[in-house]
Amino acid sequence: MIVVIYTIAALVVGSIPFAFYLGRIALKEDIREWGEDKNPGAVNAWKAGGWKIGLSGGVLDVLKGFVPVFLAQYASHVSGWALVPIAIAPVVGHAFTPLLRFHGGKAVAASFGMWAALTQGFGFLAFAGTTGVFWAVQRADAWAMFFGHLGLLVFLLVFLPVPYLLILWILETTIVTWKHRRDLKEPIRLRSFSLR
């Protein structure tokens, strides 16, 4: 029963589009209008209101993935396969929030949060670090995210090769890749670097 309660709570919290509501409250803006992708996430909040709104939205979106999983593990001692529905719930909620007619964000921030909680921060570092490296060398955010997931998979295979985490990786990667499907049709475009 505790797993069901945590899963429902994680889904509800994950469904709250914090960056969107920050834009509505602080800016009186629909942040979806600030990006070509019409995304209600932190990147468009940053574009609409600067770093304070964008960073606040991003942190809240990370926390909605982190907090339910962290509490389930360390307050209620949930472990193993029982963590899978709790961990995937905020990602599903973020990606398909009923509060925005099921047109949610791309779920990367919520994914960062849940992987941070599941791996004591190390999976987050592998995921975010690989994403950051590939974002620095090429221009397509979706491809940076894709390679970030591969970096996370390598981390899991080397350091935490447990079946429930690998299944969770498949589920989460499928959702996030689906949300980026249009952007992934674009070719990889390397950034130009000057040696001067």
Domain ranges (residues) in the chain? 2-185
Q: How far is CA 132 from CA 98, 138, 146, 158, in A?
A: 30, 10, 11, 20
Q: What is the pLDDT, as a whole number, of residue 137? A: 92
CA distance 69 to 66: 6
The region, left, alpha or beta by phi > 0 then psi within -120 to 50, assigned to residue 77 is: left
Per the structure block, which two tokens stand in for 15? 């469904």
- Name the amino acid, one letter, at 155: F
pLDDT score of 36 more than 80: no
Indicate the angle between helix axes 42-49 and 51-74, nearest 10 degrees: 150
Higher pLDDT, 40 or 160: 160
pLDDT tens for residues 102-145? 999 999 999 999 999 999 999 999 999 999 999 999 988 899 99
Say how far apart CA 127 and CA 103 lie, in whole Å: 24
Q: How far apart are CA 180 and CA 43, in angstroms?
A: 14
pLDDT at 175 over 70: yes
pLDDT at 29: 87
